[in-house]
Chains A and B, each alone.
Chain A
Amino acid sequence: DVKVTQSSRYLVKRTGEKVFLECVQDMDHENMFWYRQDPGLGLRLIYFSYDVKMKEKGDIPEGYSVSREKKERFSLILESASTNQTSMYLCASSSPGTSGSYEQYFGPGTRLTVT
């Protein structure tokens, strides 16, 4: 089974702090994604990555950056956390593979509160 893990389930940070959210997948997937999930807004894509050291902006990249130094790990960085970044953050990975399913596998999420 594909496993996507995230470093923390709950995180509380102060305004202005630099925040790192880590995501690791164990299935050698090429694609990895970071979303934020807010009530009534669904999932919005922040950044995604096709391969090591590759990154692409999603729909809401402002205030965030990412790092992918190894294939299995994709980090989301909040350079200077603000209260409007309080949210649930979901990581996902996928690989077309031979089946071409494109299914995204999700981590358990990190609920970040910025005070």
Chain B
Amino acid sequence: AQTVTQSQPEMSVQEAETVTLSCTYDTSENNYYLFWYKQPPSRQMILVIRQEAYKQQNATENRFSVNFQKAAKSFSLKISDSQLGDTAMYFCAFMTENTGNQFYFGTGTSLTVIP
């Protein structure tokens, strides 16, 4: 079974500072995909960043980057220069083709950016 764990239910960060959200997962698969999704208050869930397990290089998207540690089964999200618009629920997700493109989500981390 695939499981995804986000151990930080709530976090806060000062505007312009850096914050790291943690995610660990458990799988016996070797080829899989990892995602971070963002759900702003009362708004649609959108993809922030994705990582293919076969790629050693950590993915980056502007102020968002990941620290992917395959051996440790860890996939943390770093947000640099935090902005008020980053306030949202963040979900880590895991997918493998062997389970039919099904996503497994963590329980989420509620991030508040403080002005």
- A residues in contact (CB < 8 Å) with B: 31, 33, 35, 40-45, 48, 50, 56, 58, 90, 94, 96, 101-104, 106-109
Contact = CB atoms under 8 A, between A and B. Distances in A.
B44 A106 contact: yes
A81 to B, nearest CB: 23
16 contacts: A35-B105, A40-B107, A42-B6, A42-B105, A42-B106, A43-B91, A43-B103, A43-B105, A45-B103, A48-B102, A101-B50, A102-B33, A102-B50, A102-B95, A106-B37, A107-B44
Most B CB contacts (10 A, CB to CB) among A41, A45, A90, A103 go to A103
B64 to A, nearest CB: 15
A108 B40 CA distance: 11
B44 to A, nearest CB: 5
A58 B102 contact: yes
A100 to B, nearest CB: 8
A103 B50 contact: yes
A102 B34 CA distance: 10
Interface of B: 6, 9, 33, 35, 37, 43-47, 50, 91, 95, 100-103, 105-108
A102 B84 CA distance: 29
B53 to A, nearest CB: 12
Given A41-B107, A102-B33, 16 more contacts: A33-B103, A35-B105, A42-B107, A43-B91, A43-B103, A44-B105, A45-B102, A58-B102, A94-B101, A102-B50, A102-B95, A102-B101, A103-B47, A103-B50, A106-B44, A109-B44
Given A103-B50, A108-B44, A96 B107 contact: no
B100 A56 contact: yes
B39 to A, nearest CB: 8
Contact of B45 (A44, A45, A90): A90
Contacts of B103: 33, 43, 45, 104
A106 B100 contact: no
Nearest to A58: B102
Nearest to B101: A31
Contacts of A31: 101
